[in-house]
Amino acid sequence: MSTTIQEIPEDQLTPRDVIDKVLEVKSALVRNWPFLILLPLIGFGIGYAMDSYLKTPNQYEAEVVFNLGGGQGSGPGDLAGLLGLGNAPDANIFTGDNFFYFVKSRPVIERNLMKEVDVNGTKMILANFYIDSSGIKQEDWKDRPELHNFHFASRDLAKLDIASRVILNELVQKVSKSTDISALERKSSFIQLSTSMENERLAGLWVTTLLKTVEEMYTESQTQKTRKTLSLLQHRADSLAVVLGIAEHKLARELDYSAQIYLPEAKISANKMERKSTFLQTLYYEAMGNAEKMRVSLVREAPLFTEIEGIKIPLDLKSEDKRRAKIGALAGLLIALVFTYFRTVFSPSIKVVKA
């Protein structure tokens, strides 16, 4: 009876080979244990030092959710009919992503910075409160001590000098980076306006005030044509009121004169003035009616900003974790493993060959 021994191909490992490999890896790790401990510690130390040096202050996150409802717009004959134009619709520059760009545009941010706010019972310009509480003195202006006591003296942008305009531009750039506007969900019409700042009071004031500023400027832009038409109609009505007053004054004199003279020819002038006065009254009342229609249309066209969720009290605090220290420790461990591998592969070893 013969015994057949099945040979294992050279490209396959036997269980004994696997055990030998595991023991070999274990021996390599044991021989190089100082490097496996020292290098991760060095990486952790470097990362921890970077975390301490590049430490970012805690940030307060403020956000408000709102819905933008469009105005009803003018009736078919309200605006176009009064101007003698057709009813072709205007292109809306605030559709889609255009509105998001509008919220963070320079005119909106500038007006918001120049708003007057109540800070613990004290009225002050929001830009001045931002300078004192945002950390800009310690970060951006640490090498510019002459700006540490700077404050805007006027809210009127037209009265600012060149130096104040330069500082305002810096504030606009900095605050725009910390302000975010986006859709709450893909299928939702709700919009989220949020910011992250070092000061809790500043973060809450910035978001709530910015929402009011956006509503003001958005309404002004959307109703610009109606407001111009209303101003034109009101000016026309005022002019007719002056002319009508003069005509009625002349009519009163003619009536008084014709009452003293009984000739028929004397009443011709009075009748003429009466017809003119009646015609002017008709034009005046028509102009006043059109102006009132424009006022009603102005209310209808104004968009409706509905606040869905206000800012949370207290605000969420976001702290920076020690990420660089963790990355340094992992990088040190990886370097130690690679070093162990190459040291094991290229180190001279005595191989015993069994005959």
Number of compact structural domains in the chain: 3
State the DSSP H helix or E strand holding residue 289, giving kind and residue range, or none if neither.
Answer: helix 266-301
- Mark whether 134 and 174 lie in a shared domain: yes
- Mark whether 167 and 186 lie in a shared domain: yes
- Mark whether 118 and 264 lie in a shared domain: no
- Mark whether 231 and 213 lie in a shared domain: no
Domain that holds residue 162: 59-76+94-222
Q: 299-333 pLDDT, tens per residue?
A: 777 677 788 888 888 888 776 666 777 787 788 77
Predicted confidence band of residue 81 (pLDDT cuts 50, 70, 90): very low
- Mark whether 189 and 335 lie in a shared domain: no
Predicted pLDDT at 234? 83
Token pair for 53: 């040096």
Token pair for 36: 């496996």
State the DSSP H helix or E strand holding residue 66, giving kind and residue range, or none if neither.
Answer: strand 59-69
**Rounded Cα gap, residues 157 and 174, in angstroms:** 19
State the DSSP H helix or E strand holding residue 68, giving kind and residue range, or none if neither.
Answer: strand 59-69
Q: 148-175 pLDDT, tens per residue?
A: 899 999 899 989 999 999 999 999 999 9
Sign for the pseudo-dihedral over CA of 289, 290, 291, 295: positive
Predicted confidence band of residue 108 (pLDDT cuts 50, 70, 90): very high
- Mark whether 184 and 250 lie in a shared domain: no
What are the Cα distances from residue 21, in Å, to 12, 24, 110, 156? 13, 5, 69, 79
Sign for the pseudo-dihedral over CA of 267, 270, 276, 278: negative
314 preceded by a cis bond (ω within 30 of 0): yes
- Mark whether 103 and 198 lie in a shared domain: yes
Please report how many Cα atoms fall inside a 13 Å half-sphere around the Cα of residue 75, on the Cβ side: 10
Q: Does residue 311 fall inside a structural domain? A: no
Question: Residue 66: which of 303, 348, 337, 243 has the closest Cα?
Answer: 303
- Mark whether 214 and 238 lie in a shared domain: no
- Mark whether 200 and 68 lie in a shared domain: yes
